[in-house]
Structure 1
């Protein structure tokens, strides 16, 4: 597809003026003489957005989303200029329910590292069953607990403060994605393909799938990601399934970028389910996307861990391995 036609179609599908960063990019392309156009520049730029989607959410038309105040108190210093660390958490959306009357749980905690040269992305999954020291957050005293309880007791800012305290990595931006909308996002992508070694039959997850290749709709993808009665039932297994789904979403998102109507539908759904810090606004996200035209996702890592000596159903971070991993992200 011709780059200029794709640009015009995409702009028309959004029904409003894009942010200043993308407007300048659009004008520079459309006003350039044909012989000076860089073939594939637009497609490359959009592919950069798809890469960001694998670890967060595409944000070209994200407007009016909720913002969260950053953590207070002492924070780690920024070690390397130009690097970017984003903490992405996925919540189970049960805040206000009988079981979680005052909060919600984090099903996913993902630390996304973008280096200064923007050549590659590293995404580190933090096991939610990690037993860690949680710092004081507001009126909550410091305590040893599962890391996902930081969100339940103190929200996104407390989760960021906990991760910073444990890793000595400065978190530049934070993002919360409500998993109740996760299925809508998958549906907007047209479903996600997975390949299973064994069939799934889990009444609790309301999920039945045959062995082999299946295309999951949103409800099925959410159930698959949150399975407990599959494999060894551990949180580590859940992390592996989440990483499989994120990779599949990336692949599907790249294919979707040539269809402005599908992009618009996806972003419309995603925008309703996101909270970020105030500094991670549309302009900042768009600048990041444009700067990542050659970025590649190097892979998903998991914090090195061992079973907790106090509780075999929990994990503790393996040292010095975990410390070495986080040192690379500072």
Structure 2
């Protein structure tokens, strides 16, 4: 069976996922056929983001960004030539009081690059997935939402959890802090985004007209954290975050001819980026070169269904989820 066709058939694309209030839509979710499309805007944005990051971050690395250790102990085997990168977006001030004690991962994305780099696949992992989290340091193993792994053990524990669940080796990991985006956007001189419908959200302190809008750091942060707009789903929120990220990367490219501003921007960006120590200059430069002209992109989400114990949570649907991750090994 063609690998691309199998990937298409396994997961529903992010654009077509339902709102987060699963209880209200339980019956429809269980009967709805996944809709999919080979190249969605989100997949393209992620691929562009990965390429731009691979070009820009080496400078950040040299200026002393923070690194985090890779998981210790037994891990899935490394597959020669392929590369799996876990991207985690965090927000220590998001939403509810439980986030204020310690940040939880707000967005979890697994990017798979095959050996020939001809097909880039991105997999979104719902943060409300109820999973078995392995022991991390002094924290015992437990069943919990997957984003709690970050709260208890940071990026290292998140990687360990994903590897345990998927049996896929994570070669590199990168963490972005949403709170620092305010300073990054201001360092860029603001970014432009296209807004389809007017936004008026008192909770987010955000009021924007429809159309192309220039966002400063404060408005960009509000846009990234916006939760009560559109259908209110996490999927829609992720789309907004990716739109903003892509706009930032495009604006960042315009600084390549302005070394002074570029240095200031990268110095600010170091506050929001953490990687594993092995994601160094040589690795990132090589990655940028191999991703120059990929043949295509596939964006999907882990196959899931409502959790029988709590319809406001999800569990991964088997054997579909297992079949998806087989292609990453």
Q: TM-score range by the shorter chain?
A: 0.7 to 0.9
Q: 1:125, 1:239 within 8 Å by CA — same for their partners in 2?
A: no
Q: Which gives a bigger RCO, structure 1 or 2 (Cα 8 Å, sep 6+)?
A: 2
Could you state the TM-score of these two structures normalised by the residue count of structure 1? 0.75
State the shift of 1:54 in Å.
Answer: 5.7
Q: Once superposed, what is the RMSD of the aligned Cα atoms? A: 2.9
Shift in Å at residue 184 of structure 1? Answer: 2.2
Contact 2:87 2:173 in 1 (8 A): yes
2:194 is aligned to 195
SS at match of 2:154: helix
Corresponding residue of 2:209: 210
Give me the whole-angstrom Cα distance separating, in 2, the residues matched to 1:297 and 1:218: 33
1:68 pairs with 2:68: yes
For residues 142-161 of structure 1, what are the structure 2 equivalents within 5 Å? Answer: 142-161=141-160
Q: Which has the larger radius of gyration?
A: 1
Q: Do 1:52 and 1:58's aligned partners in 2 also have CA atoms closer than 8 Å?
A: no
Q: Are the equivalent residues in 2 in contact too, given 1:197–1:211 (CA < 8 A)?
A: yes
C-alpha distance in structure 2 between counterparts of 1:280 and 1:297, whole Å: 24
Q: What is the deviation of 1:226?
A: 1.8
Aligned residues: 281
Q: Does 1:104 align with 2:99?
A: no
**Range that drifts further, 192-201 or 107-116:** 192-201
Distance 1:159 1:92, change over 3 A: same
Quote the Cα distance in structure 2 between the aligned partners of 1:132 and 1:52.
Answer: 31
TM-score (norm 2): 0.75
Deviation at 1:238, TM superposition (A): 1.6
CA distance 1:51–1:86, change in 2 (3 Å): closer
* 243-252 or 147-156, larger mean C-alpha shift: 243-252
Contact kept, 8 Å, 1:256 with 1:263, in 2: the verdict is yes
What are the within-5 Å matches in structure 2 for residues 193-272 of structure 1?
193-272=192-271
Is residue 66–residue 270 contact of structure 2 (8 Å, CA) maintained in 1? no
Residues in 2 aligned to 1:56 and 1:303: alpha-carbon distance in whole angstroms = 28
The answer to whether the Cα contact below 8 Å between 1:59 and 1:267 also exists between their aligned partners in 2 is: no
Change (3 A) 1:299 1:193: farther
Q: Deviations over 1:174-221 (max 9, x none)?
A: 122222211222333343333233221112211111223322222222
Deviates more, 1:127-136 or 1:98-107: 98-107
| Equivalent residue, structure 2, for 1:277 | 276
Unaligned 5+ segments in structure 1 are 1-47
CA distance in structure 2 between the partners assigned to 1:200 and 1:317 by the alignment: 33
Q: Distance in 2 between matches of 1:110 and 1:139?
A: 26
State the secondary structure of the residue aligned to 2:262. Answer: helix
Deviation of residue 268 (structure 1)? 1.6
Larger deviation, residues 255-264 vs 167-176: 255-264
User: How far off is 1:273 after superposition?
Assistant: 2.3
Q: Deviations over 1:137-187 (max 9, x none)?
A: 122122111111001011111100111111111001112222221122233
Give unpaired runs (5+ residues) of structure 2.
Answer: 1-46
